[in-house]
Chain A
Amino acid sequence: MMFLVVDFNVIFSAVLGVGNSSNIFKLNSKKKKYIFIAPQFLYIELGKHTSEIARRTSYTLDEAKKALIFIEKQMRFIPFENYSDKINEAKDILRRHEKDVPYLALALAFNCKIFSGDKVLKSLCPDRIKNPNELLAELENE
């Protein structure tokens, strides 16, 4: 299995059932091609949004929790210390797009790509990003 960094955008897209991301998590659960990784902070933050996810989707609270758990089971949450030495390099690449620095630093530390639908991030480091359409095509053709 290979590592692939995931960002909040693809996780929320999957849990909220918007776009292709939910199909990607379903396929990966069957094929077990990737171990999705993310900064540890994501785990804490995701839990805070369970009620809001339920409200925006019309899921029950239990369904919102189940959908989040399905995604989280395919993920490993990585402490800052494991990618801290790549923060400056990531900042140099991303400059003003600083909110994505933790994702890029993590990808640099694990020498892997990032699964993201963020167009600005893709324009700043095109070789490092797999967007949902690209990843879905890849998993479907496995």
Chain B
Amino acid sequence: MEKIIVEVPEELARKARMMRIELSLLAAKALKDRIDELEEIAEFERIVSKSKATEKDVEELTEKANTAMWEYHKKKYKL
């Protein structure tokens, strides 16, 4: 495991002590969550960059899905 030093304001450290929060664990969790998020963004970017779809594909899918949604609402809720 790698060790890092994180400086936090004294007031924050005081509050953490009062609430019995282990700041090092909290910081490690926050870092992990953020890095996971950035990895997900990078993966999404990688996937969409290889798309061969066009505006026409978007329009056709949208039309189909919007029609299904409106028909569902009309039927289920008697609109």
Do chains A and B interact in one complex? yes
Main secondary structure of the interface of A (DSSP, over half): helix
Say whether B65 faces chain A, with CB atoms less than 8 Å apart: yes
| Cβ-defined contact, A70 with B40, below 8 A | yes
Interchain pairs with CB closer than 8 A, number: 113
**In the bound complex, CA of A18 to CA of B48 (Å):** 9
Interface residues of B, Cβ cutoff 8 Å to A = 37-38, 40-41, 43-45, 47-55, 57-59, 61-62, 65-70, 72-73, 76-77, 79
CB-defined contacts of A30 to chain B, threshold 8 Å? 37-38, 41
Interface residues of A, Cβ cutoff 8 Å to B = 7-9, 12-19, 22, 25-26, 29-30, 39, 41-42, 45-46, 49, 52-53, 56-59, 63, 66-67, 70, 73, 80, 84, 87, 91, 98-102
Supply 7 A–B pairs (Cβ within 8 Å), ascending by A. Answer: A13-B58, A14-B48, A15-B48, A25-B44, A41-B69, A42-B65, A87-B77
CB-defined contacts of B72 to chain A, threshold 8 Å? 41
Q: A45-B68, A101-B70 are in contact. Are A18 and B51 (CB under 8 A)?
A: yes
CB-defined contacts of A53 to chain B, threshold 8 Å? 61
Main secondary structure of the interface of B (DSSP, over half): helix
Interface contacts beyond A29-B41, A59-B47: sample of 11 additional A-B pairs, CB < 8 Å, sorted by A: A8-B65, A12-B58, A16-B48, A16-B58, A42-B65, A58-B52, A67-B44, A99-B69, A100-B66, A101-B70, A102-B73
| Cβ-defined contact, A66 with B51, below 8 A | no
Least CB separation from A118: chain B residue:
B62
| Cβ-defined contact, B44 with A45, below 8 A | no
